[in-house]
Amino acid sequence: MHFASDNAGPAHPAILEALSAANDGYALGYGNDPLSEAVRETVREVFEAPEAAVHLVPTGTAANALILGTMARPVQTIYCTEMSHINVDECNAPEFYSGGAKLTLIETESARMRPEPLARAMETASGNVHAAQPGPVSITTVTERGTLYDLDEIRALADIAHGHGQRLHLDGARFANAAVALGCSAAEMTWKAGVDAVSFGGTKNGCLGVEACVVFDPDLSWEVQLRRKRGGHLFSKYRYLAAQMGAYLEGALWRDLATRANAAMAHLYAGLRGAGLGDTVLYPPAANLLYMRWPRALHQRVLGAGAVYYIEEGALDGDDPDEILTGRLVTNWATTEAEVDGFLALLQPAVAAR
The rounded distance, in Å, linking the Cα atoms of 168 and 214 is 12
* Residue span binding a second copy (CB under 8 A) among the ranges 23-31, 35-43, 253-261, 343-351: 23-31
- Give, in degrees to the nearest 5, the angle at Cα 115 between 114 and 116: 100
The rounded distance, in Å, linking the Cα atoms of 167 and 152 is 17
List the interface residues with a second copy, window 261-320 (CB under 8 A). 308
The rounded distance, in Å, linking the Cα atoms of 311 and 325 is 7
Quote the least distance from Cβ 24 to a second copy, whole Å: 7
Of the pair 98, 140, the CB lying nearest a second copy is at 98
List the interface residues with a second copy, window 1-20 (CB under 8 A). 2, 4-5, 7-11, 13, 16, 19-20
Tell me if 232 contacts a second copy by CB under 8 A: yes
Of the pair 101, 257, the CB lying nearest a second copy is at 101
The rounded distance, in Å, linking the Cα atoms of 217 and 305 is 51
Is 61 buried (19+), middle (13-18) or exposed (0-12) by CB count in 10 A? Answer: buried
List the interface residues with a second copy, window 54-73 (CB under 8 A). 57-66, 73
Which residues are CB-neighbours of 124 under 8 A, at least 6 positions away?
131
Of the pair 142, 158, the CB lying nearest a second copy is at 142
The rounded distance, in Å, linking the Cα atoms of 43 and 46 is 5
Quote the least distance from Cβ 77 to a second copy, whole Å: 8
Of the pair 120, 250, the CB lying nearest a second copy is at 120
Tell me if 253 contacts a second copy by CB under 8 A: no
- Binding-site residue total for a second copy (CB under 8 A)? 75
Quote the least distance from Cβ 102 to a second copy, whole Å: 5
One-character DSSP codes across 294-312 = EEHHHHHHHHHTT-B-EEE
Tell me if 193 contacts a second copy by CB under 8 A: no
Residue 331: CA atoms inside 13 Å, Cβ hemisphere, count?
29
List the interface residues with a second copy, window 89-128 (CB under 8 A). 89-93, 95-103
Closest CA to 190 of 49, 56, 322: 49
Of the pair 74, 278, the CB lying nearest a second copy is at 74
List the interface residues with a second copy, window 194-213 (CB under 8 A). 203-204, 208-209
φ, ψ of residue 344 in degrees (nearest 5): -65, -35
Of the pair 6, 196, the CB lying nearest a second copy is at 6
Residue 64 CB neighbours (<10 A): 31
- Give, in degrees to the nearest 5, the angle at Cα 87 between 64 and 155: 60
List the interface residues with a second copy, window 133-152 (CB under 8 A). 133
Of the pair 156, 287, the CB lying nearest a second copy is at 287
